[in-house]
Amino acid sequence: MYNNKAYIIKTKTNLHVGSDGTNFGIVDKQVQRDSITNLPVINSSSLKGAIKYHFEDILNSEETSKHFIKLFGDDSSGLVKFIDAKLLFLPLRSNKKPFYHTTSISNLKAMVEFLASFGIDIKLDHIDTNKSVVIGKQSATVEDVDCQALDINIPAINETFGIQNLAIFTDEDFNEVVENLPVIARNKIATNENKTDGNLWYEEVVPRESIFFTVLCYSNNFNTQGADSRGKTDKTIFDAQYKKFEQKLINDTIQIGANTSIGYGICDFILLGESDE
């Protein structure tokens, strides 16, 4: 048995979690993508590695490492299972607002169904449209997509994700914009004696203000008998460890992916929901 907790990941700066695959196109470094939907993802190994690295000082401390080492494990094992983070909202420029958080009805439904499989119930507002729309009283062009106005209230989405401006695209429009993420030209730092520029190369990024969601699962199969000298069982000890872990995860900003020296990948984690024990 596992306790499952869902988290939102909000990117505060551009994010590049590289795919490490061979690419013969014009973009030299592409982001990780889901093999079925082609949406950007943060693979579980990358997510775990970034969070573990953020906890490095604690894990290297003799005083506190014993409280956290079981969460991550010494190598690949650990009591916490990390699940791929999936893209939910992509920010896109508009002629009426600085940007809209954009998604599709299919993507929202997929998130609700995915979290339900972990016993996490998320209630969202009902949105019924077969066209690309912006939520509000005024139509807008979002990126290159002309969107009609859909004047409805979406309190659950606004409150849950902290979104002010929402656009709901058709699957076709959403897949197209996700296919064409921003590409940034980078120049390799010169290492030769003449200090001439290195080669120009191109890197795909997930833009700041994007929103992902993920699930962390931790075992509930602990000894609830045989308390130690302090009256604590294995379960109460681990629950306390996870609580400390979660507090740091939520209160800190976590760097995920490459290019930390130029400020990429700064993210906030927010608790979205959890399964019933």
- Calpha distance 180→166 (Å, rounded): 20
- Calpha distance 32→21 (Å, rounded): 9
**Helix-then-strand count for the chain, H and E:** 7, 14
Instruction: Specify the number of domains making up the chain.
Output: 1
- Calpha distance 58→9 (Å, rounded): 22
Q: How far is CA 1 from CA 7, 168, 222, in A?
A: 20, 37, 10
- Calpha distance 53→256 (Å, rounded): 10
Q: Is the pLDDT score of 193 beyond 80?
A: no
User: Which has more confidence, 240 or 1?
Assistant: 240
- Calpha distance 224→214 (Å, rounded): 29
Q: Following CA atoms 27, 188, 44, 67 in sequence, which dihedral angle do they give, to the nearest 10 degrees?
A: -170
Residue 1 near residue 222 (C-beta atoms within 8 A): no
pLDDT at 277: 55
Average pLDDT estimate for 13-29: 72
What ranges make up the beta strands (E) of the chain? 2-11, 41-42, 80-82, 85-93, 99-104, 133-135, 140-142, 145-150, 166-169, 183-187, 200-204, 211-219, 253-255, 266-274
Quote the domain boundaries for residue 142: 2-274
Strand partners, 102: 90, 167
Q: Are strands 85-93 and 99-104 parallel, antiparallel or unpaired?
A: antiparallel
pLDDT band at 62 (very low <50, low <70, confident <90, very high): low
User: Which has more confidence, 77 or 237?
Assistant: 237
Q: How many Cβ atoms from other residues are within 10 Å of residue 238's Cβ?
A: 20
Q: Is the pLDDT score of 27 beyond 70?
A: no
- Calpha distance 257→63 (Å, rounded): 29
pLDDT at 79: 79
Residue 209 near residue 99 (C-beta atoms within 8 A): yes
* Highest-confidence segment of 59-63, 157-161, 216-220, 237-241: 157-161
